[in-house]
A and B are shown apart, each in its own frame.
Chain A
Amino acid sequence: MQASFLICKGQTNKLDLSLVHTLQKTYLSFSTFYWGRIADIHTESKYGLESFDGWKAISIRTYRAKFSYLAADHLKHIREIIQKFPPLEQEKLDNNWITIEANFVLLWISQISHAVCNIIQSPQSKPSDGIFRVMMVRDNCSRFTLAKILSSLRSGEHIAYKEVEWIECVAYRLVPSTNDGNFVLDGENIEPGPIQACVLPSSLNVFYHPLS
């Protein structure tokens, strides 16, 4: 009802998209990419993320990967970045990329605030802020904390935990050391393997009405 109302009022605003490359395919994405524990829940659970229980999902499995990103202050040069985006096969990145190599429990990259209607995984994200917000949990997190974090996803309180790290970036690349695990882009399972993406800021007109 509300969405229909917005459509009929006819006011549009911009929505960020992103261009996602894997080794085989290129996608146009609008919301989130997740990998690790949360993607496993998405894939394994019968009901998906909509109704998972944080306390049941506490098995910790870590994934070793190399995560590189281009920090959010490069947003001004985004056009050049999109044009000169290195192919995924090219291993070496420019100096301004920052690389983290660690064991991750989960990695959740968002452009919008909700991945599911009742999960607010990235409360600060706005539809047209032009950045990815990366939420990651590394293997220094206990099972108890992880369960608490997962349970508080519904309310958005998980941002208070110190185990949850946040990065703002305009482009990222994830190279996992093994190809197992689930890769979920916009709620769709995609092929596992190295993946990279960059923001296409404000590239789509969408009906919504931001408060000024």
Chain B
Amino acid sequence: MTATPVNILQLKQYWPEDSARKTILYDSNALPKAQADAAQIYYRITYDSNLDMIHIFRYTPVASNAGHNSRSQQVEYDQEIVAEIDPTDIVGADLEIKFAHDAFLESQASMGNLTALKTARNIAKKSVQPDCTTTAMKPFTIVCGDDTTNAETITYQDHMERKKRELIQNSAAFRQVGVYNRKNSQNISLASSRGIESTGAQPSPSLLQSFFSSYSCSTDTTTNMDSPRRRNGDDVDVSESDTDDGTQSSNSKGNEDDSTALSFTSALESSRLPFQSKSVTFLNIYIYPPQDTPGSIILGPREAKHVRFQVAPTIDFSDARNVVRGIRILAQIEHYCKEEIESIKSDSRKKTHGFNKVTGHSKKIPIPPKYLVFINVLSGKKKSADIYEHILRPMLDQSGVEHDLFVSQYPGHAYERMSALFAILATRAKSHDLEDDETSNAEDNEPDELLDVSAYDGIIVLGGDGTFFEILQGLRSRKKDRNDLMKRLKFGIVGCGRYNGLSSSLLYASKVS
């Protein structure tokens, strides 16, 4: 927002996967010894295993008297702790890569929104996650878009969002409540969804090199979307001054016309950028510390205090990915822990058996947990849709959990959704629609709704005790697989009803033991 120097998180740290508990996230030797641009601020993340705390240090360069000709002189830094984070407060961490470019819109016009987005997503996927076993786990949010025209853009995520939104808004009950006001997301965002799967084929290192040499994230001063004007002029020197890797090419305006001519697909093949652009990467850590003194009780009112850093230019993202991975392990987020153990296992297997196992390895990509969220818009003070929109959905997104939404619109609706009859009815409705062309369009928009409950890993209820009771009875009515489901499914309840006995009890049990 202000014209402060670029914040850079140096990511040359080493994060051993098996002994995450005793690591320093950042090696102090990696502090830049001789930086051309002394006006930069550096951040450093460490983990203290004794205190069980993650510390974030800030290094501000000390103003020296040596003058301007000291390009090779060692820069001294002031060290200062900016944040102390209890790892248990962290809900998730990810990398967010933003492409800010001008040519995108034009290609968009020629190719159509979704095609352009899909292609961009493929490119991003290929370049960013070449060997990532965790593609499906959303380590990256890739955001593409022209800053100046973000009001017009349609995002891939928005496309999915809109479906959910329509679902809510179409329910008559919801209209009655009328609490839906969420700002449209302002960028074209290609957040990974279940749709992104590993292609299996991995791009060669040389391809990556060439890609990144032209395209590695040069720092960009457009750290927030609210200041689009600054992109055009004054940031060029920043990216030039920051070429300590020697890999970036500065983003000259002259190339821009050529890039417009390039179509997305050919760019994908030639591994060249479809657009001349600057990109910027952020490390996001999502933290929800308790409002009162940390550590006193495990549960209390919490507030969101997210940390966001700009990542220094790197050759590839393996370091950054390791940091994200490490933070996730430290945070003891259950579904990540499992995933990491899996990947460590498969990594060691790969090492022992050589590299020919790579294809088998890529099949073992853990599927992210997928939850079904029940919303009873009628229960209690009718706040459930609001709570979903403002608390649960962002939090689930941040922790990398996927979910589908089900809006319970009348008493017994949730029961029907849970019961085994639903699957039968759903398939029947689908086949019926195939015969009848006119109605099939309506059904095509909501394919997710047809998934049976057994396809999910968990069920989250936004409602009162009554809604949960209904769901349990629905579960009981499934004679065939109810025992299996009861063992496998995870249930979460967010008390939005009048009584909230269960959620109160669970919170009470978490507090008093």
Contacts and interface: CB of A to CB of B under 8 A. Distances in A.
Contacts of A30: 468-469, 472, 502
A29 B334 CA distance: 27
A208 interface: yes
B398 interface: yes
A203 B483 CA distance: 9
A114 B501 contact: yes
A10 B369 CA distance: 10
A205 interface: yes
Interface residues of B, number: 61
Contacts, number: 174
Interface stretch (B50-58, B262-270, B276-284, B296-304): B296-304
Interface string B466-506: 10110011011000000000111111111100111111111
Interface string A1-21: 111111111111001010000
Contacts of B487: 205
B335 interface: yes
B506 A127 contact: yes
A206 B492 contact: yes
Contacts of A185: 469
B395 interface: yes
A31 interface: yes
Contact of B469 (A2, A6, A116, A187): A187
B460 A7 contact: yes
B513 A9 contact: no
B510 A113 contact: no
A125 interface: yes
A157 to B, nearest CB: 15
Nearest to B286: A8
A3 B511 CA distance: 12
Nearest to B493: A3
Contacts of A10: 333-336, 369, 399, 401
A32 B469 CA distance: 11
Contact of A9 (B334, B464, B486): B334
Interface string B70-83: 00000000000000
B102 interface: no
Nearest to A212: B513
A28 B494 CA distance: 20
A147 B195 CA distance: 60
A160 B399 CA distance: 44
A49 B300 CA distance: 24
Contacts of A204: 486, 491
Contacts of B489: 205
A61 interface: no
Interface string A146-175: 000000000000000000000000000000
B302 A5 contact: yes
A127 B465 CA distance: 15
A117 B95 CA distance: 39
A156 B69 CA distance: 74
A165 B145 CA distance: 67
B252 to A, nearest CB: 44
Q: Specify which of A28, A50, A119 lies most central, judged by the most chain B CB atoms within 10 Å of its CB.
A: A28
Interface residues of A, number: 50
Contacts of B494: 3-4, 7
B92 A8 contact: yes
Interface string B365-401: 0000101000000000000000100011001101101
Nearest to B476: A28
A205 B491 contact: yes
A7 B510 CA distance: 13
A1 B499 contact: no
Contacts of B396: 4, 7-8
A2 B504 contact: no
B30 interface: no
A115 interface: yes
Interface string A198-212: 000001111111111
A122 to B, nearest CB: 9
Interface in B176-206: none
B472 A17 contact: yes
Given A2-B301, A2-B302, A9 B332 contact: yes
Contact of A8 (B301, B333, B499): B333
Contact of A207 (B490, B504, B511): B490
B275 interface: no
Nearest to A50: B498
A12 B513 contact: no
Interface in B63-113: 88, 91-92
A32 B499 CA distance: 12
B508 interface: yes
A10 B88 CA distance: 12
A117 B507 CA distance: 10
Given A3-B492, A3-B493, A3-B494, A12 B502 contact: no
B510 A6 contact: yes
B509 interface: yes
Contacts of B309: none
A148 to B, nearest CB: 23
B508 A114 contact: yes
B234 to A, nearest CB: 40
Given A9-B334, A28-B476, A211-B298, A205 B506 contact: no
Contact of B499 (A11, A50, A206): A50
A3 B491 contact: no
A192 interface: no
Nearest to B91: A8
B476 A26 contact: yes
Given A10-B369, A48-B499, 20 more contacts: A3-B507, A4-B391, A8-B396, A8-B398, A12-B334, A15-B506, A50-B499, A113-B505, A114-B500, A114-B508, A127-B509, A186-B466, A187-B464, A187-B466, A188-B469, A206-B490, A207-B492, A209-B298, A209-B299, A211-B510
Interface of B: 88, 91-92, 288, 298-302, 331-336, 369, 371, 387, 391-392, 395-396, 398-399, 401, 460, 464-466, 468-469, 472-473, 475-476, 486-495, 498-513
Which 8 residue pairs of A and B lie closest in terms of their CB atoms, listed nearest first? A10-B334, A112-B505, A114-B504, A211-B513, A8-B399, A7-B492, A208-B506, A207-B492
28 contacts: A2-B301, A2-B507, A4-B387, A5-B395, A7-B371, A7-B392, A7-B396, A9-B88, A10-B334, A28-B473, A29-B472, A30-B472, A30-B502, A31-B502, A49-B499, A112-B502, A116-B499, A117-B495, A125-B505, A186-B465, A187-B501, A204-B491, A205-B489, A206-B490, A208-B507, A209-B298, A211-B510, A211-B511
